[in-house]
Amino acid sequence: MIKERYAVIGNPVEHSKSPWIHARFAEQTGEPVDYGRILGTIGGFENDVRAFIEAGGRGMNVTVPFKLDAHAFADSLTPRAAAAGAVNTLAFTAEGARGDNTDGVGIVRDIEQNLGVSLQGARILLLGAGGAARGVVLPMFEKKPAALTIVNRTAAKAHQLADRFADAASAASVRFSGGGAEIVEAGPYDVIVNATAGSLDAALPDCDDHAFGPGTLAYDMMYSPKPTVFMQHAASLGARASDGLGMLVEQAAESFFVWRGVRPDGGAVLRELRQALTAKA
């Protein structure tokens, strides 16, 4: 059976777990997938992608710093990619390059299926108003939470994000607001998501400690073999803490489904990957 070519493109990209994850998905489903890495050229994204297509490439995952380039490159966008303003999945067909964003679906599936926390009726606090936050808002709305509050150090960015999704929030009957740390409501939230890049340099996002409680899931989109500073802080306040490794696996599973029409079992691959990373720690 001839394998069809897929890849992740980024810069840097050698650290990416995507080839390992998609190899497991291919084994699990029997799909003929050959998945590799491409070190993208800064300023040369379009040329790199066109060369991959000409060599028979069927689809790509896109990581830092090319998600906006992929958005511009795509001939068409899914509604969730248009809403996110960024693309992490490209599918190449006779109709052109279709841009998608699977990050939001990835985090929702990880929270609900792997961590067992329902978002329906939940009070959610989203820390950060950048691209990572923008990509998860619509998929969270689809789960019908009671409220979603976006808090950002630069309050104006949170206001802009709140304005961008105001109509979608109204349609989903979700109480929705954005601003600085002062808008954090009294009492512990059900779910707090750290969508800032703070964990990369061990910085905590602005958030009132009273937002955390024993019934809170504190979710950091970053992942590492050891708990992030945000996770450690949340745990010290009695919350349950999780990193974003499951989001990585589940967004990959959604990409695989977009390309192949087959949905792999992300939970099984996540357990295997978690064991491998823990063994290296």
Asked if 280 is an active-site residue, the reply is no
SS3 3: coil
Count of CB atoms within 10 A of residue 142's CB?
A: 16
Q: Residue 196, annotated ligand binder?
A: no
Q: Residue 103, annotated ligand binder?
A: yes
Residue 51 makes CB contacts below 8 A (sequence gap 6+) with none
Residue 280 makes CB contacts below 8 A (sequence gap 6+) with 225
Q: Residue 221, annotated ligand binder?
A: yes
Cis peptide before 12 (omega within 30 of 0): yes
Catalytic hit among 3, 67, 226, 280: 67
Q: Residue 144, annotated ligand binder?
A: no
Among 91, 60, 58, residue whose Cα is nearest residue 77: 91
Q: Which residues of 129-141 are buried (b: 16+ CB within 10 A; e: fewer)?
A: bebbbbbbbbbbb
- Report how far residue 261's alpha carbon sits from residue 242's, in angstroms, rounded to the nearest whole number: 29
Q: Residue 156, annotated ligand binder?
A: yes
Q: Residue 35, annotated ligand binder?
A: no
Q: Residue 96, annotated ligand binder?
A: no
Q: Residue 130, annotated ligand binder?
A: yes
Q: Residue 157, annotated ligand binder?
A: yes
φ, ψ of residue 42 to 5 degrees: the values are: -60, 125
Helical (H) or strand (E) element with 93? strand 89-93
Q: Residue 131, annotated ligand binder?
A: yes
What crossing angle do the helices spanning 18-29 and 266-280 adopt, rounded to 10°? 140
- Report how far residue 198's alpha carbon sits from residue 229's, in angstroms, rounded to the nearest whole number: 9
Measure Cα distances from 94 to 87, 91, 115 in Å: 19, 10, 39
Q: Residue 155, annotated ligand binder?
A: yes
Q: Residue 132, annotated ligand binder?
A: yes
Q: Residue 154, annotated ligand binder?
A: yes
Q: Residue 246, annotated ligand binder?
A: no
Q: Residue 88, annotated ligand binder?
A: yes
What residue numbers does the annotated binding site cover?
16-18, 63, 88, 103, 128-132, 152-157, 221, 223, 244, 251
Residues annotated catalytic, as ranges: 67
What residue numbers does the annotated binding site for NADP(+) cover?
128-132, 152-157, 221, 244
What residue numbers does the annotated binding site for shikimate cover?
16-18, 63, 88, 103, 223, 251
